[in-house]
A and B are shown apart, each in its own frame.
Chain A
């Protein structure tokens, strides 16, 4: 009897506990069904942003998997955030609202970037403009949006609009968030960019724009005197003088920069710059050489020391002091062997000095060294064809042909070994030249089309395709291949000037 009671009570209690547990679980699940206050909004926004970022990261980490479908999913994820979380209505949001606003603002920026990448520049510009207007409480976002808006206009060739946005940037935001902060390049560079855009537009007066930019930099350098912002403003002012060909203004500003803000970190490059300006501007090689010598003696182990030595060697070569020049250059090449660009420039100047001295064999030796040791550098890529030219100038036809074949082999090796690098593209262009010299027209046409396909939107690539069509038609008398290439251009660039040009030529041929 007692046991039965106990059992009944046990069942009752078990049932009660089960009901409470079930009820609690149900209440919990129901309470999580929709966003509530600010905390829930932020949580939902963070969750949505996390998903979008995961997708974006996967696409960056595995570019091969970045299919159109994934891009569409990413776009849709950002669009959903933008739709769910409009810009904050309050101009001074709370911390939690600020977090939500950051997520929605960043999502707008990312969505705009995706639109820009898919050629929807106008829609991207609208989105950037909405961030500039509605997220003014966040310097980071509004400034980033304004900068990208300007870039969007520049890409679309709307330079006046771009300049207007850039001037807004310069006037709206201080050049650094605080006096002890580093200068923000987006603000500091804005007036210079605006002046360049006005010049590119061909509509406004570029002199006025340049003058306005200089006034801005002078104002910033006074207002922010003694800070790194003032130094950056002076640097930008000097560059604007250089851009306008005002050597005296540029030299005076760089010298002021050196006097007032020169440090062990920036002085070497400032002195090299001043040396270059004295030399290329007023042609004052004596003062230029003084600056170069100062760099060489104060910073002998810095790359600027090597660059100064090469500049001094250039003066020696110009004055016919070839041996002295080569001594300097040998020293640079051996001391800066690891600095490929510097060492290659030194060897190039040695080769040039031999050429000017009338010692072609020694020059060929140096060019050979250049091609072998620094084959992918600017000078190293040009060296094999320069050897061919020297042999041709000497009238040594067989040697020139042999050198040309060696050049072809060298460029083909670089194309193979440095695939998908800038060196590959440069080597392809040199190989096309070499093959033209060999009059190997089928291979030239093939190379032109291959190279063009690497970056089909590049205007140079379009020109290459037309060249290939011309070779098929003229040199190889293969009208069918020429028509095929022109048809490719006409369909790919339909409705654009190159597409129209291809269609016109097709009509002529048919």
Chain B
């Protein structure tokens, strides 16, 4: 595909996704995920009070030590705790909800509208491959994102400029890997294919439209930079304003993750269906 055509396709996919959003399509799965994240944040904020004191407090001590059980240490702990919990949640819950959302998008783009229950039913039957894909993506993302800190610690001290370039390169690599596999879930859920066939199909489609694929993943990911930058200023925010601002930054982050996931899943499903690889959801009875 030519660059202009890829760009046009991207804009069209996004506008279709926004149209779906206006009709409330696929919102529920991401809302559930955001609710779980919000509950986690609130649990950490109120870790000292029952019943959280019995559940969250031991977890905080286990993962981040005694300092996280003091004010405002617990508020500083929200981000690392949420990041750690997310690693598990994305694989086991996120994969299921993304699958459900993909089905809801697919049926909508095919002219019908189905709810969360139907989505969960379809995704539940594909749970194992969905979990596998999410786990692989999670491992690759963690490895590539952490590699500069693990293997190039000396470089960070000797040449901070070069280290920054390496880190940006690692982020770019994560985006490329995610772009290569972004159509696996639509192919599994909406295309009804097997795992290996879906991976092959995703790689083929990403190779056919690399700009569209990278931007489908990259633009929503870039939205996360704003809350990420804010969390890096945590100490300044706590000292100059109030520790409670950290909660609002995390709420902002959850909203951004909601928007980003929605855009990525919707646009990837739309592009997958558009690329002609769909085997009509309607023909297969909603993918079942």
Contact = CB atoms under 8 A, between A and B. Distances in A.
Interface of A: 2-3, 6-7, 9-14, 17-18, 21, 24-25, 28-29, 31-37, 39-40, 42-44, 46-47, 50, 54
Interface residues of B, number: 36
B66 to A, nearest CB: 10
Interface string B22-36: 000000100110010
A32 B69 contact: no
A9 to B, nearest CB: 4
Interface stretch (B77-85, B112-120, B154-162, B178-186): B112-120
B168 to A, nearest CB: 36
A39 B57 contact: yes
Interface of B: 28, 31-32, 35, 38-39, 42-43, 45-53, 57, 69-72, 74, 112-120, 242-243, 285-286
A196 to B, nearest CB: 42
Given A6-B286, A9-B115, A14-B28, A37 B46 contact: no
B43 to A, nearest CB: 7
B53 A40 contact: yes
A9 B35 contact: no
Contacts of A31: 46, 49-52
Given A17-B32, A37-B53, A50-B72, A10 B117 contact: yes
Given A31-B51, A37-B53, A6 B116 contact: no
Nearest to B242: A54
A79 B53 CA distance: 28
A43 B68 CA distance: 11
Nearest to A20: B35
Contacts of B53: 36-37, 39-40
A24 B71 contact: no
B45 to A, nearest CB: 7
Contacts of A42: 48, 70
Kindly list the 8 A-B residue pairs having the minimum CB-CB distance in the complex, ordered from nearest. A10-B115, A13-B117, A43-B48, A32-B46, A21-B35, A46-B71, A9-B117, A10-B117
A34 B49 CA distance: 8
Contacts of A36: 48-50, 53
6 contacts: A6-B118, A13-B120, A21-B39, A25-B35, A39-B48, A54-B242
Contact of B38 (A2, A9, A25, A32): A25
A62 to B, nearest CB: 13
A105 B113 CA distance: 64
Contact of B42 (A28, A34, A35, A43): A28
Nearest to A7: B115
Nearest to B112: A3
B71 A28 contact: no
A283 B167 CA distance: 76
Contacts of A35: 49
A267 B35 CA distance: 70
B101 to A, nearest CB: 12
Contact of B48 (A10, A17, A40, A50): A40
A43 B31 CA distance: 31
A42 B285 CA distance: 58
